[in-house]
Amino acid sequence: MSIANNITMPYLKSVFIVLLLFIDGPSFAQNGTRKSWSATDSLQWSDFRGPVDPSSRFDASTHSGVSYTFSRNADLRSMRFIFTTASFMDRLQSWAKADKQTPELLSHERLHFDISEFFARKMLEAFNAHSYTTNYRDEIEKIFKQMMEARQTMEDLYDEQSNHFVNKAKQAEWARYVADLLSNNYTYQQALEKEPVAK
């Protein structure tokens, strides 16, 4: 990859894991190794508790993902669904090298988590908008896969344009863009555009 400042060495590795839960019943309870996304409790370096890979060319590695559950109630006339979605990071599989824990790197990582949160919200919206048939499991899985593909597209573009936070101008542009996504100032379609909207 090559951008304006010609620095191509990635400084952060983000690993996204996906948890699919097909549950006809109550939602699952999260365990203590997972940190749920929160507007008031953002990622801290203390959340990165996994063993560091000293040979890695990356300065940090974050395992984050999106999960969903659903319950189904059926009667003679219709099926009713209740969905939940959540974005999370796995603390015990996420790590950061002690001498690389800068505010800039942490901000970059927080934004990855924010993008996951945006797609968790949009996935819930898509689940609730769909009219299901008896093939509902396949239909739910299709929506999930579409959302995760769209998220990965955005994640890759973010890393490419910001050059893993090295390109500070692009990093700032993406920070404004994603903040607007989470405040509902942009539509889902705009979120899938190839270029973030500059302020």
Instruction: Report which of 60, 30, 66 is spatially closest to residue 47, judged by C-alpha positions.
Output: 60
7 in a domain, yes or no?
Answer: no
CB 154 within 8 A of CB 115: yes
Does the structure show a pLDDT above 50 at 194?
no
29 in a domain, yes or no?
Answer: yes
Q: What is residue 64's predicted lDDT score, i.e. its pLDDT? A: 86
Q: What is residue 115's predicted lDDT score, i.e. its pLDDT? A: 93
Give residue-wise pLDDT tens across range 88-97. Answer: 999 999 999 9
Give residue-wise pLDDT tens across range 104-143. Answer: 999 999 999 999 999 999 999 999 999 999 899 999 999 9
Q: CB within 8 A of 72, min separation 6: which ones?
A: 24, 79, 80, 81, 136
129 in a domain, yes or no?
Answer: yes
At residue 178 the predicted structure's pLDDT band, cuts being 50, 70 and 90, is very high
5 in a domain, yes or no?
Answer: no
At residue 69 the predicted structure's pLDDT band, cuts being 50, 70 and 90, is very high
Task: Give the total number of structural domains in the chain.
Answer: 1
Give residue-wise pLDDT tens across range 44-61. Answer: 999 999 999 888 888 888
User: Of how many residues is the chain composed?
Assistant: 199
Give residue-wise pLDDT tens across range 5-42. Answer: 222 333 444 444 433 333 333 333 345 799 999 999 99
Q: How far apart are CA 80 and CA 72, in angstroms?
A: 6
180 in a domain, yes or no?
Answer: yes
137 in a domain, yes or no?
Answer: yes
Instruction: Report which of 78, 47, 77, 74 is spatially closest to residue 63, judged by C-alpha positions.
Output: 47
pTM: 0.78
Q: How many CB atoms lie within 10 A of CB 91?
A: 19
Q: What is residue 153's predicted lDDT score, i.e. its pLDDT? A: 92
Q: What is residue 188's predicted lDDT score, i.e. its pLDDT? A: 59
Q: What is residue 79's predicted lDDT score, i.e. its pLDDT? A: 82
- Give the domain range for residue 60: 13-191
103 in a domain, yes or no?
Answer: yes
